[in-house]
Amino acid sequence: MGTITYLGFPPLAAFIFAIVIILLQYLLGPFILDWIYKVEWLSADKIPAHLRDFITNASAEKNIPFPRFGIIHDGNPNAFTYGHHPGDSRLVVTAGLMEVLDEKELEAVVGHELGHIYHWDFVVMTVAAIVPLLLYIAARTLVYSRGGGKNKGGAVLIGVISFIAYIVSQYIVLFLSRVREYYADQFSGKITGDPNLLSSSLVKIAYGIAKAPAEGDSDKKNETLAMAGRSFGIFDPKTAGALALNSALSGGFSSENMTAAMKWDLWNPWASFMELSSSHPLPAKRILALESQAESQGIKPLYGFVTEKQPESYWDEFLVDLFFKFFPLAAFLAGVLFVIIQHKYFGIPLIIFGISYWIKLAFAYPRRNFPDAEVTGLLASVKVSGIRSFPATLKGKVIGRGIPGIMWSKDLVLQDESGFIPIIYRQPLGILELIFGLFKVPELIGDEVTVSGWYRREIGPYLEIRDILKESGEKIKCRYLAFQLFIAGLSTALGIIWLLLEIGGA
């Protein structure tokens, strides 16, 4: 876009170019996703009978075509749909989802995806995405316009306003996406006749309250699967893995575990702030809406939701988190301001940045002991965020990739005796993460491992990997923290050298 403006093309050319790009993404996107995802597409007679009948009846009732149905053989529970319009829609579920949910719950999740198809959400969100792009082009065109004279200042001002509108519009599009999710949930509650089915599905997928398969059930489901052979997922694609937890409690649902897991969504101030940048609502809010829908349909809500009183305010931790999150930037800007005023000591901003960055890392990465923990125990933690973490060690089995079906997805999902949670792999260079995703992840899936790292929670919970110990004794380490410490030290050292040279030359 900037090149078009720089070459002197009229603003209309940039707008037309942007619309063409959007249309190409819309037209080619589904085919690209077909190529990216490792999906086994099933003919109608290969789909489990109960699910085939449900989709057939729902499609007939709502006058939508039977979607192309596929399965991704990955243990991370998820479902999503995509396409150009209802006539060529694709509906995909993972093997993990079919393993975790019972038949009626699986139908409720598929009903949610059918809701996206019925509401033409592919088209709605594509059209909505045009608005931020056009505002962005307008901002760049006006700010970097070659024109001069009296109109230049006015054009720049309008460009700045357009850029602000662009940022606001992005959040509006995300809000629209969250609204579409509520509508899809409502559709599922109506088409199944019982919103509680989707509520229990969301609780199982999002909070780890699913009962472990009874002895023999797993083999039966595997037999069924063997026979079976920006997308709209049941959760935000960026965090779907972080919302997949499976409790092994023999008694089935545990209201205590459910309540504990929901506390973060309901009480931690970070939850509402994180939701603003998410395409999906917080799970607790979706369940609240479904419980209201159940009551309106004359059905007793499944849970009655969380009645426990909040014991304290968590805003003090939130403000401390904010301080450490932005401390290096604020300190660096203060150093720059000092240099502007004094016109000397140019090394001070680098020194201040390096020291403040190291302090932030000391807060975000506590390096005391990494005690043994369980997934459900970590989930009960309310005082945790993207920057405030708990060191922990988990032992379990790697059951799938962070993003099911993406062959280069470098994150993993770990299952222990209490649940499963994503473990996030970070390295200083993206190429290292790509190599890990392509070549090391396939070796790890199915292995029993011991993982130490830092438990965090943003839209969903996850463990940021420090190291992975395989049964063979091989240890895989992440160097992301070491790289950040190096940056902090390098900045400090360069600042000190610069300052000493300046003082020595005075």
Q: Which of 113, 181, 291, 317 is catalytic?
A: 113
Name every residue whose Cβ is closer than 8 Å to that of residue 148 and which is 6 or more positions away in sequence.
none
Question: How far apart are the C-alpha atoms of 397 and 412, rounded to whole Å?
Answer: 10
Helix axes 150-192 and 49-62, enclosed angle (nearest 10):
120
Using the CB atoms, write b or e for 75-96: b if 16+ within 10 Å: bbbbbbbbbeebeebbbbbbbb
Say how many C-beta atoms besides its own lie within 10 A of residue 223's C-beta.
10
Question: How far apart are the C-alpha atoms of 391 and 451, rounded to whole Å?
Answer: 11
Output DSSP code: residue 387: S
Q: Are 79 and 94 in contact (CB under 8 A)?
A: yes
Question: How far apart are the C-alpha atoms of 490 and 47, rounded to whole Å?
Answer: 58
One-letter amino acid for residue 476 of the chain: I
One-letter amino acid for residue 36 of the chain: I
The alpha carbon of 204 is separated from its chain's Cα centroid by a whole number of angstroms, namely: 18
Q: What is the DSSP string of 272-323?
A: HHHHHT-SS--HHHHHHHHHHHHHHTT---SS----PPP-S--HHHHHHHHH
| 448 is annotated as an active-site residue | no
Question: How far apart are the C-alpha atoms of 122 and 25, rounded to whole Å?
Answer: 12
Question: How far apart are the C-alpha atoms of 408 and 410, rounded to whole Å?
Answer: 6
Q: Are 481 and 365 in contact (CB under 8 A)?
A: yes
> If DSSP states are collapsed to H, E and C, what string results for 207-252?
HCCCCCCCCCHHHHHHHHHHHHCCCEECCCCCCHHHHCCCCCCCCC
Question: How far apart are the C-alpha atoms of 242 and 446, rounded to whole Å?
Answer: 19
Catalytic positions are 113
